A = this chain, B = another copy of it.
């Protein structure tokens, strides 16, 4: 996937991904706490965007104690700020960034049927989006590019 990118995106998984996330967060001058690790791990295991409440529920179950959505939001905000996670605006949900530390604007393909969300990078497109914004006298900070539609599996279930 996104093999068109100029640089290679090997996607770390499991422990490697968590470890990469830790390095990135610490490099940003933030602490890597047990709670943050737990939330990152849970987020990373979801196969589709997870809401803060989804995560709170999953963590609560895993820890055997109540974890409030509140706390999850705080940590998700931190993750988004440090590029460990992304918010999918059209789904009110979050996904782990599979290559933290590299900070593309990104494109999400969100299936209306199953919720599966694919992450693409296409610097040409995102640059042109920023370009038209700038051309209109606007200072772009965060392009939100998401495509709602139907994924291959739902479109054509063999």
Residues on A lying within 8 angstroms of B by beta carbon are 1, 89-90, 107, 109, 111-112, 118, 120, 122, 124-125, 128-130, 132-133, 136-152, 155
- Copies of this chain per assembly: 2
- Report the separation of the CA atoms of residues A140 and B132 in the bound assembly, to the nearest whole angstrom: 22
- Report the separation of the CA atoms of residues A146 and B132 in the bound assembly, to the nearest whole angstrom: 11
User: Of B1, B128, B141, B155, which contacts A148 at CB under 8 A?
Assistant: B141
Let me know if B122 and A138 touch, CB within 8 A.
no
Let me know if A144 and B89 touch, CB within 8 A.
yes
Let me know if B147 and A142 touch, CB within 8 A.
yes
Let me know if A147 and B143 touch, CB within 8 A.
yes
Let me know if A138 and B147 touch, CB within 8 A.
yes
Let me know if B142 and A129 touch, CB within 8 A.
no
- Report the separation of the CA atoms of residues A64 and B109 in the bound assembly, to the nearest whole angstrom: 44
Let me know if A136 and B109 touch, CB within 8 A.
yes
- Report the separation of the CA atoms of residues A152 and B151 in the bound assembly, to the nearest whole angstrom: 38
User: Of B107, B124, B137, B144, which contacts A146 at CB under 8 A?
Assistant: B144
- Report the separation of the CA atoms of residues A107 and B152 in the bound assembly, to the nearest whole angstrom: 26
Let me know if B137 and A152 touch, CB within 8 A.
yes
Let me know if A125 and B120 touch, CB within 8 A.
no
- Report the separation of the CA atoms of residues A105 and B146 in the bound assembly, to the nearest whole angstrom: 12
User: Of B1, B107, B118, B132, which contacts A129 at CB under 8 A?
Assistant: B107
Let me know if A118 and B138 touch, CB within 8 A.
yes
Chain B residue, CB-CB nearest to A112: B141
User: Of B112, B141, B146, B151, which contacts A149 at CB under 8 A?
Assistant: B141
